[in-house]
Amino acid sequence: MSSVIVQSGQEVLGVRSIAGPIMIVEGAANVSYDEVVEIRDAQGRMRLGRVLEVGEKVCVVQVFAGSTGLSIDGTSVRFLGDTLRIPVAEEMLGRVFGGLGNPVDGGPQPLTDTYADVNGAPINPTARVYPRDYIQTGISAIDGLNTLLRGQKLPIFSGAGMPHDQLAAQIVRQATLGAEVGKQGTQSEQFAVVFAAMGVKHDVADFFRRSFTESGALTRVAMFLNLADDPPVERLVTPRAALTLAEYLAYECQMHVLVILTDMTNYCEALRQISNIRGEVPSRKGYPGYLYSDLAAMYERTGRISTSEGSITQIPILTMPSDDITHPVPDLTGYITEGQITLGRDLDQKGIYPPIAVLPSLSRLMKDGIGKGRTREDHSHWGAQLYAAYAHMQDVRALASVIGEEELGEVDQKYLQFGRAFEREFVNQALTENRTIEQTLDIGWRLLSMLPKEELTRVTLDEIKRYHKGEDGSS
């Protein structure tokens, strides 16, 4: 636990009350808000905590490791006089840390004088550089229709049992800086991955570690692990610690950092637990009213700034309880992030990988990273047309399920065929399949060519001439 700068501070013996991970401590003077405390139990074991509220001579302390084993009289609390800080250094890449940023891989404490506040500070909007460079992930449903840019925050909305981990790992494996069609993409030397696990099972963490090892990226990855059997309160710090390192790597060491946070739903549950114990007025489903601001304080730690070449791109993963996208966790996340990749249960059940549900997915920054000079000039219309056709196909499919496929008109039958092919050939791809942007655009045009030209009103006539593959789609 020595990853916090220890300053001498006042020590108080005994606490007034303990409820879950929350303690009320009396008798300390001039305590500061959000200050870190060191708690010693009757056996002399240490744990860390943080001040959540201060009053005259009393304060509310949150114990990261939980209060098991703490007693009213046997506990002593030392106030360290500073907010929570972690060491940050380039050599932390390749290492594994616990939920509070302490090394757990048997290696030494990182050697550095730079300690950074885990809460970070807001980026000044005038200092931001608007993201424009796209990342080629090799996954058609992302590169083609939900293009990810450097400096973007794009979560994966998933559900229990769906392959979000595989998808995230594939993105990490395949991501390169995108290039225009006809030019070469490059894997930047200066890339790094910061991975934070909150309340996930051991095998998930192992899966990621294996995947990083296999792709040879492990030396460029820093892992912060708070696993399912680790103290829940610690996970309130885990993503912050990870982002603190990410900021250092991106803005001080000029690296392109990809941050994976999984699973944000577990994080939010921990926050809800603390809030409930403190008796705060809940808003929806028992989550505190400040959940939006709390999440924003982390998600907004993404982007590019004018004084550095580096960038932070965030891919938070969250499982939607009962696949409900209106649940507060995905809902508030969607209100903060720059789009979302939504996985669909129906696609997953059809055996389609990655089961990316195209219609509820969105990359808001896509428009600024595609087109002429970035991907290809037809990309934007091409995407709009695929969406429109696929959206219309959903209506046709619904109708077909009522009146029967044979009753459909000729054009609508073509839509159905298009829809099936779109899911099987465009969305679906192998775990190891790494498609270039050109391949993705080509598959799209091939599918659009299944439809009559008159139906393609989102693309220009020139584009049809250039890329449409059939005479009138009937061939």
Please work out the total of residues on this chain that contact other proteins, with binding judged by CB under 8 A. 80
What is the smallest separation between the CB atom of 293 and ligand ATP, expressed in angstroms? Answer: 15
For residue 125, the minimal CB distance to other proteins (Å) is 4
Smallest gap from residue 55 Cβ to other proteins (A): 4
Q: Which two tokens stand for residue 368?
A: 């600024």
**DSSP for 278-309?**
TTPPB-STT-BTTHHHHHHHHHTS-BEETT-S
Q: Strand 36-40 and strand 76-79: pairing? A: antiparallel
At residue 282, φ and ψ (nearest 5 deg) are -80, 160
Choice between 54 and 149, CB closer to ligand ATP:
149
CB of 142 to other proteins, least distance (A): 16
Sequence-separated contacts (24+) of 394-403 with Cβ below 8 Å:
394/359, 394/419
Q: Considering CB distances under 5 to 8 angstroms, the limit depending on partner class, which of other proteins, ligand ATP, none binds residue 227?
A: none
Select from 223, 136, 131 the least CA-distant residue to 178. 136
CB of 421 vs ligand ATP, minimal distance in Å: 25
Does residue 130 touch ligand ATP according to CB under 6 A? no
Q: Which does 34 bind (CB under 5 to 8 A by kind): ligand ATP, other proteins, none?
A: other proteins
Look at residue 125 and give the partner it binds from ligand ATP, other proteins, none, a contact being a CB closer than 5 to 8 Å depending on partner kind.
other proteins
Partner interacting with residue 387 (select from ligand ATP, other proteins, none; CB below 5-8 Å by kind): other proteins
Residue 233's identity, in one-letter code, is V
Residues in the chain: 475
Q: Which helix (H) or strand (E) holds 223?
A: strand 221-227
Site string for other proteins, 372-411 (x = CB under 8 A): --------x---x--xx--xx-----xx--xx---xxx--
218 binds, among other proteins, ligand ATP, none (CB under 5 to 8 A by kind): none
Q: How many CA atoms lie within 13 A of 363 on its CB side?
A: 33
C-alpha 244/C-alpha 235 separation (Å) is: 14
| Of residues 159 and 383, the one with the C-beta less far from ligand ATP | 383
Cα(79)–Cα(51) distance, integer angstroms: 9
In the numeric block, the tokens 């498609």 are attached to 435
33 near ligand ATP, rule: CB under 6 A? no
Q: Which does 32 bind (CB under 5 to 8 A by kind): ligand ATP, other proteins, none?
A: other proteins
Tell me the closest approach of the beta carbon of residue 168 to other proteins, in angstroms: 21
Tell me, letter by letter, the H, E, C secondary structure of 320-354. Answer: CHHHCCCCHHHHHHHHHCCEEEEECHHHHHCCCCC
Range 14-33, binding other proteins (CB under 8 A): 29-33
Closer residue to other proteins, CB minimum distance, 82 or 323: 82
Contact status: 364 vs ligand ATP (CB under 6 A): yes
Return the SS3 of 51: strand
Residue (206 or 405) nearer to other proteins, CB = 405
Distances (CA, A) of 455 to 145, 389, 393, 397, 405: 19, 8, 12, 17, 20
Q: Which amino acid is at 199?
A: G
Contact 41, 71 (CB under 8 A): yes
Show the binding pattern over residues 451-470: x = contacts other proteins (CB under 8 A), - = does not: ---x--x-------------
User: Cα–Cα distance between 159 and 23 in angstroms, integer?
Assistant: 35
d(CA 327, CA 317): 15
335 contacts ligand ATP (rule: CB under 6 A): yes
Q: CA-CA-CA-CA torsion for 246, 252, 257, 261, nearest 10 degrees?
A: 10
Interacting residue with other proteins among 191, 195, 251, 382 (CB under 8 A): 251
Residue of 90, 331, 377, 442 that binds other proteins (CB under 8 A):
331
Q: Smallest distance, Å, CB 316 to ligand ATP?
A: 15
Answer yes or no whether residue 458 interacts with ligand ATP by CB under 6 A.
no
- Say how far apart CA 34 and CA 89 lie, in whole Å: 24
Q: Which does 406 bind (CB under 5 to 8 A by kind): ligand ATP, other proteins, none?
A: none
- Residue 8 interface partner, choices other proteins, ligand ATP, none, CB cut-off 5-8 Å depending on type: none
Residues 253-292 that bind other proteins (CB under 8 A): 280-284, 288-290, 292
Q: Give the footprint of other proteins on residues 158-217 (CB under 8 A).
A: none
Contact residues toward ligand ATP (CB under 6 A) are 335, 364, 367
